[in-house]
Structure 1
């Protein structure tokens, strides 16, 4: 199931992306649309009961077709989307988590996951413009798989870890490299406004059998810059979730960004580096999760 948020009549609404178009959940359920179904965040916090209602609606759409929900169907191409998670309590990033990315940057293979964070101001959505800051001349792209936590996790084992996932999404961990490397702390270059586009969908965990067997790609103006597989992660999704949960409680809606593969500009020889400039179109594409596209200005 592919969940998304869109703007309509000055409100943020929850939708399900289908072959018939986006189904406005509130319009489709009518009087049966409980408050916990107003957005992804609320549904995750409400637990399986809310998600089961959405799954049942998704099944009805498949069985009955779009015509049965005519008043609730929206043309996805015409929608203004919001982030697929609106207010994650935590935005946790994992650095240098692809073997070939560590090698391209001449970095040692980490012994433990390298964790840092972004803040909510960095969130952006598919189709939004991302502003290149005046303080940076080395703004870079990073295609990443995002994990959205579905239920409270504390000290979970790697074997159980994926049971705590609500869904997965595309992420572009935009990075101002000159600001990132100014000090030993990466925060400044990572958490500028709009530097964390996510989406367009939250694809529920039941639709992603193995998050470490997904093709992941990034293009800039149609040119392939990153082309890898999540199987190249040094610490897989199970390990990351378990490791973090042994140090802090993960709650529904928390977003974990699992690192980027090789092909970022920082990994190129200096004479071949072409950092993002005004007008560049960046697309992050992951098998089964759709495509996340943003224009940089």
Structure 2
């Protein structure tokens, strides 16, 4: 299934993407499970599929306001320096462990929303990434069991305010400005994705390809990342992990290529749709 979150008729809702429509579950189902995270917590993806097939309402895509795939994740983890090409352009040494930082839920935006450059920075950069949505929670998850804990996958753009990212050796400020983390347009359930290593990620700025990589190029694989994170904190249904960006970031180009007002940035991953966002400036 392809699952999306949105507002519809004045309330947060979600549905199954079906061509140019959403199949939205009936009100009684939405009352029991008010958002996708609650569906995941209940292990009710199969129930959702059955509900939309039996009594789902067909809604045109343009009749809703898109939301991030999971509108308010409990935890958002991001992996830094997870492709050899990005490590090389950043002139960083190889690491023994994944570099993990966090995002705040209020930094997320949906497909179609404007990514917001803070008015006091000219160094607003793109980072196309694969996002994992956790479906089954756990602690001390073994690598061999990691894929059993994944509900699905989506595109992510870890928009980075580079000067604020580098004020100190802690990256948090540059990664958490409101309106900088694009997440969408939908989540594809793991059973439909199959071998995630066969997927290709591509980022485009104004139609020009600026990043391209196979997901098989990840330094720390998805099972390694899930095992590592779950050792220091429990993972819960609806938590999100952005797995890192490949080489080609604007900050390391000569001359640098930063996002500016009027730009359009796209992240496309095989089978996961296109995450497209215009770029503007925060008031």
Q: Do both proteins adopt the same fold according to a TM-score greater than 0.5, normalized to the shorter chain?
A: yes
Q: Which residue of 1 aligns with 2:49?
A: 55
* 1:137-159 deviation line (CA, Å, top 9, x unaligned): 10000000001111111101101
How many angstroms apart in 2 are the aligned matches of 1:285 and 1:36?
Answer: 33
Q: Which residue of 1 aligns with 2:120?
A: 135
Report the CA distance between 1:258 and its aligned residue.
0.4
* 1:203-240 deviation line (CA, Å, top 9, x unaligned): 11111212222100111111111111111100011110
* 1:143-200 deviation line (CA, Å, top 9, x unaligned): 0000111111110110101101111111100001111011100011000001111011
Q: Which residue of 1 aligns with 2:35?
A: 39
Q: Which residue of 2 aligns with 1:253?
A: 238
Give the TM-score taking structure 1 as reference length.
Answer: 0.90
Report the CA distance between 1:99 and its aligned residue.
1.1
Q: Which residues of structure 1 form unaligned runs of 5+?
A: 62-67
Report the CA distance between 1:57 and its aligned residue.
4.4
How many angstroms apart in 1 are the aligned matches of 2:198 and 2:143?
Answer: 17
Q: Which residues of structure 2 form unaligned runs of 5+?
A: none
Decide whether aligned partners of structure 1 residues 102 and 14 sit closer, same or farther in structure 2, where only a CA change above 3 A counts.
Answer: same
Matched, 1:73 2:69: no
How many angstroms apart in 1 are the aligned matches of 2:61 and 2:49?
Answer: 20
How many angstroms apart in 1 are the aligned matches of 2:17 and 2:139?
Answer: 32
Q: Which residue of 2 aligns with 1:64?
A: none
How many angstroms apart in 2 are the aligned matches of 1:286 and 1:46?
Answer: 28
Aligned partner of residue 102 in structure 1, secondary structure: helix
Equivalent of 1:295, from 268, 275, 278? 278
Whether the 8 Å contact between 2:72 and 2:106 is mirrored in structure 1 is no
Matched, 1:162 2:147: yes
Q: Which residue of 1 aligns with 2:7?
A: 7
Equivalent of 2:162, from 168, 177, 182? 177
Whether the 8 Å contact between 1:149 and 1:165 is mirrored in structure 2 is yes
Aligned length: 280
How many angstroms apart in 2 are the aligned matches of 1:187 and 1:288?
Answer: 31
More helix by percentage: 1
How many angstroms apart in 2 are the aligned matches of 1:34 and 1:180?
Answer: 39
Whether the 8 Å contact between 1:20 and 1:73 is mirrored in structure 2 is no
